[in-house]
Amino acid sequence: MAKRIAHHMQKLKTLSQPINLIFLIQIVVVFLVSFGTIDRFWILPLAALVATFVLWTDLETATTFFVRSVPFFVAIPFTEYFDSFNLWRIASGLIFLRWFWKKEIWKKIDLRGAFSLKKYPFSFFYIIFIAFSILSLAVASDLFGAMKRVIYILNLSLIAPVIYELVKSKEGYTKELLKNILISVILVAGVALAQIFSSYLVTIYDFMAVWGEQIQLAFYGSEWADTVIHSNTWFAYYGPQLSLRVFSTFPDSHSFPVYLLLTIPALLAFSLHRIFSKEPKSFKKATHIRASMLITLLPLFYLLAILSGTRGIWLAVLSPLIAAPLAWRYLKSVEAKNILKYCLVLLVIFPVLFTVAYPVFTSSQFQIPKEDSALFAKRLRSILDLDETSNSSRIVIWKKTLESIKKNPLLGVGIGNYPVVLSQETEYAKAGSSAHNLYLHIAAEIGILGLIAVLGMLWIIFKRGLAVASNHQDIFIKIFAIGFLIYATWVLFYNLTDAILFDERAFLIFAVNAAIILGLNKKNSANG
């Protein structure tokens, strides 16, 4: 009895911690608003509470709260016509300003060094990218939209240097960040499971009324809610038959699996740490040691990624296997190579889970009977079918994009102005008009040099990831770094068929992981 009381007291103590209490209030308010229990007005006091909290608490806690809240930040209904400005933009801005002021960053900025490729290569490429984004304003048809896009990208970038500095200077902070990534993704997965379950209980009209008109409205504002109601990627259509493509709290079924995949490095670090921590393990010995029970979440995340119905994600699972020999060559320690092998073997679970996904895809959802049990097989075969509507449309778009890049190689058509490439109105950018290829999209909007800058940043992130995986003394960190290399490769290859990394939540989780890697590399170099 005494142990039980102590356990409950510990639970109450944990719940009373400010970060947990504020996060709980946020979750409750967001979901009450999402299901229409309370009015959207209550997002305004919630935003004030979050802003006050990130200003009041210490910088480490504020940043941790931000990382945990990434999938649950919602649009703030300032007015009827201005209700899509997301809370993460205020939170990241305030955290950045606190860090900038507290650390007196303005005194430490090395302007000459920032333009040095050798001294600060990542900063160098980032400055080049931002410079060409700004220069592209000169050719933008929609100047206001282009300016908003530049501000959006700068806003997305604010949290990264804060995480970088904290990881570099605070012992053990990486583990705290990764723990909070896991908390958020478990909640996201829970919502996804509830979403799947709901598809068997209601009609398509009821589903859209709840998930489109209420939940998407609460999370992203009226403009996006209207867009998804009239045209969305939430369903796989087969004539009169349709299947849900899971998206959880995300705007679509493309950004959702990207977020899932980029949380797996944190999951692997906590799950596999006990296998490799005691003494150097051969791959054979490692396979005989039980991982943490957390590893049981991996098949769930894989299954949800499959049930998103995003075929590019399905195909891109091959990319880490293709890139593995290159990583193998650069990993110096035997220990790191064994961890890489172990993590790559886990990828085998992904194709196996298609056998579990099959009955879900072919079952009757939204009270519409499915007569063709080969629906899922048809969608699988369509991945490489160039005549399939989605694939053929992508090819047409890629050709037009390449023609546009050829005509405008230096500055593109202007950042945020991609619809011009397809002779569309620039307002289509808000509805997701893109090149369906991240790299072509960047080159088309801000020019080839802008794309080279982005590729330079990615190269540095991967290079530093290999260095952390090879040289860091902490097994937990090694596993995280190798997990990041594998799943970032998966995501970046997927972006050959989509530009979804520009989605705010997908970008933020990538930026969080990348900033951790860069901070760990700097810290490791300093210690070495």
On whether residue 101 sits in a domain, the answer given is yes
More confident residue, 489 or 284: 489
Q: Which one of 77, 109, 141 terminates a domain? A: 109
Residue with tokens 């051969």: 282
- pLDDT greater than 50 at residue 263: yes
User: Can you give the pLDDT at residue 277?
Assistant: 78
C-alpha 213/C-alpha 226 separation (Å) is 8
Whole-number Cα distances in Å, 220 to 71, 83, 474? 11, 8, 40
Which amino acid is located at 123 in the chain?
S
On whether residue 163 sits in a domain, the answer given is no
* Greatest alpha-carbon span in the chain: 76
pTM over 0.85: yes
On whether residue 135 sits in a domain, the answer given is no
- Please compute the mean of the pLDDT values over residues 254-275 and round it to a whole number: 95
User: Can you give the pLDDT at residue 15?
Assistant: 38
- pLDDT greater than 50 at residue 262: yes
Q: Which two tokens stand for residue 126?
A: 């980032």
- pLDDT greater than 50 at residue 355: yes
- pLDDT greater than 60 at residue 526: no
- Please compute the mean of the pLDDT values over residues 76-82 and round it to a whole number: 90
- Please compute the mean of the pLDDT values over residues 249-259 and round it to a whole number: 95
Residue-averaged pLDDT of the chain: 88
On whether residue 32 sits in a domain, the answer given is yes
User: Can you give the pLDDT at residue 8?
Assistant: 43
Q: Which one of 109, 139, 162 terminates a domain? A: 109
Helices (H) and strands (E) in the chain, counts: 28, 4
Q: Which one of 62, 92, 109 terminates a domain? A: 109
More confident residue, 430 or 489: 489
User: Can you give the pLDDT at residue 119?
Assistant: 75
Query: pLDDT digits over 208-245, tens only?
Result: 999 999 999 999 999 888 888 877 678 887 656 788 99
On whether residue 389 sits in a domain, the answer given is no
Count up the domains in the chain and report the number: 2
On whether residue 67 sits in a domain, the answer given is yes
On whether residue 123 sits in a domain, the answer given is no
On whether residue 129 sits in a domain, the answer given is no
Range of the domain at 404: 394-443
Percent of the chain surpassing pLDDT 70: 85
